[in-house]
Structure 1
């Protein structure tokens, strides 16, 4: 993803977006059985999409962010990369319990300094506050915005917490970075073919796989060392998978690779230009096709041996059919109009599709997907939400 691609289509700016979707009938039961919610980012529609079961139906909750991309989730937090910030949400059990016990029901019973006089005369704000209270009382988990780090537009792609803190793929500067309150970023590694740390998105470094709490594998679109090189001559199968510990290029024939992930000794990744998921074994150097899906594969997560893959529709910028810029294999296989934006749940061993969610409205592009365990009925509050001013998570010394 690049800066110009974050601009949504003009017609989408002039109307309320259509987030309609269809799903396989078994998906709600599967999410309930696994006791999970899913988080999906759509930079094109500027939304974080929370997917969860609601009885026999599926519910998608929408949270607005500027150009949301990379996601990280664990038992404590959900972290999201946006246009120029990384925002961290953490589970807030004490705040949720206070809401459930009715501790915030009456605004007039709060201390005077916590009562905004403008709110009491604003019916819309009072209604919004009541809606948030009702939603939290029905929830089993609350994620509350805890911190945000401003990075500038470094084109954040994959993100993850590790032993040394928060890691991001800094595509603008073609490097892996750690984040700190004291800097926009701390550059920690760059591909061996990149000479300078300059804001030129030279090779489109995008994907990062963690192993034992540290970044281990990354993906790039090529090995060139010049500004926007990967955009100049159409899409070619010269993308790489790199072992950053050994500083060694493992594969150099990938077409638009994304989303490397380590699982059971293999490195799984999206061969996006083919609409595939492939896997590579670092010891045997064997590459295998895992699955073929009806869309631009990007975004990958595991639930045990179950594999979650996000697909996007083929973008206009990716449509080619000339001698100079031939069509993507995905386009040749499907045709541009038949590519699907959705989420697919598969058996990682047999590649059997078990369940799916497909977006039918204006949502055409997804970037990342994360699994939120132990939170089948999740609510997330941003710092701009009315209720956030009255929720406190603190410790004592």
Structure 2
């Protein structure tokens, strides 16, 4: 058996170590604290070698975070977008799901922002108000039932997978057969789904009940991964599974309440753990031979205290953390990491943006940039001077007589020197 097979079929690797850094927080323009990012020694170099960038969503603090490398240094750009959850990236768009809305950002191309060249500027273009769906995972340009949908999403409150609709809150596509009706009851906490060959194929559920919120009673062992084609579970006995992803002919998933990353193997009885996670694992993407896992701290309430992960970390004396865990799929070991301290304690999703090394977005809080950034089609029959090329943009425009310029946008987050995070094992 090869080293890779031994790693992926052996006992889960343990993530050890403890933080030794006293975090320094910086005030934002609105007086709020910003998170501090503590990368492993080679994190920035590894991210630079991917020739892309990362995007993360933070549910409880309502941020959209871009991570990229510029001049050899890790850079962080955060934007306030509400209860940011599921992310979907394509060459042209960035989709962000929130509790009650879905936002569509368009990649408007290259621009120079404050003297720095950005190879993609994401501008908000459209918002869908989907109502009390508690939107979780989202997938763009995906097929289901022979139809292609611009965006599908998990409507967790309604225990179904849905698509956007121009008239209705949402158009239901699929629900588990045991769910009696479409009603805001969260019977099973359906939270994630995965596409295989461009079609929705798998979903993660936290329980199988017909009572509103009934899944909570067995949160540590009632979860499952559901095969939509076969209409049956392919892995059971899981603790609040999240983020199913089909990658390299294998279905990967996070066994969140148990703090595990692994894959589904029917021949081996369902879920197979590969590595332990020092936090509530939620959010997963892949870059070559690496898996990038989002980590969240457990909430300080009875729900978090009763989770199996709480006792597991206490017994192993591992401090729970928020951040990223990068696992080498060839060895099954932790290769790089990023610890986040400060007001951000939870991540929901993480996505890789290949080919986009230096992203930018004004979010909703830079009206001056929205006024400057004009993006029109080149094939328009109406002449215009907006070439869609490199446009110099300033996030802090000079005031003219009569103008009242007020602070807008989010302050830069603090990035600690490499090596101030937690060592991997």
Q: TM-score range by the shorter chain?
A: 0.7 to 0.9
Q: Distance in 2 between matches of 1:385 and 1:277?
A: 38
Instruction: Select 2:117's aligned residue among 138, 148, 161.
Output: 138
User: SS state of the match for residue 338, structure 1?
Assistant: coil
| CA apart distance, 1:34 | 1.0
Q: Distance in 2 between matches of 1:384 and 1:359?
A: 23
1:234-383 maps to which residues of 2 (within 5 A)? 235-281=219-265, 287-317=271-301, 327-335=306-314, 338-382=319-363
Give the structure 2 partner of residue 110 of structure 1: none
Is the 2:100–2:131 Cα contact (8 Å) retained in structure 1? yes
> Is the aligned partner of 1:63 residue 2:54?
no
CA deviations 1:188-219 (Å, max 9, x no partner) are 10001101000111111001111111111001
| CA apart distance, 1:389 | 3.1
Q: Distance in 2 between matches of 1:91 and 1:283?
A: 43
Give the structure 1 partner of residue 161 of structure 2: 176
| CA apart distance, 1:179 | 0.6
Give the structure 2 partner of residue 389 of structure 1: 371
| CA apart distance, 1:72 | 0.8
Give the structure 2 partner of residue 158 of structure 1: 137
Structure 1 or 2: larger helix share? 1
Q: Distance in 2 between matches of 1:84 and 1:328?
A: 27
Please tell me the root mean square deviation across aligned C-alpha atoms, in Å: 2.2
Q: Distance in 2 between matches of 1:388 and 1:320?
A: 41
Q: Distance in 2 between matches of 1:60 and 1:299?
A: 18
User: SS state of the match for residue 370, structure 2?
Assistant: helix
Q: Distance in 2 between matches of 1:200 and 1:329?
A: 25
1:81-230 maps to which residues of 2 (within 5 A)? 81-93=97-109, 96=110, 100=112, 133-134=113-114, 137-161=116-140, 162-163=142-143, 164-165=148-149, 166-230=151-215
Q: Mean Cα displacement is larger for which, 362-371 or 377-386? A: 377-386
Give the structure 1 partner of residue 24 of structure 2: none
Q: Distance in 1 between matches of 2:364 and 2:32?
A: 23
CA deviations 1:127-152 (Å, max 9, x no partner) are xxxxxx416x4312212222221111
User: SS state of the match for residue 158, structure 2?
Assistant: coil
Change (3 A) 1:288 1:262: same
Is the 1:310–1:344 Cα contact (8 Å) retained in structure 2? yes
Is the 1:43–1:365 Cα contact (8 Å) retained in structure 2? yes
Q: Distance in 1 between matches of 2:91 and 2:332?
A: 28
* TM-score normalized by the length of structure 1: 0.81
CA deviations 1:296-332 (Å, max 9, x no partner) are 11111111221000111111235566xxxxx433211
Structure 2: gaps (5+ residues):
1-29, 382-425
Instruction: Select 1:41's aligned residue among 57, 65, 90.
Output: 57
Greater relative CO, 1 or 2 (CA 8 Å, sep 6+): 2
Is the 2:80–2:363 Cα contact (8 Å) retained in structure 1? no
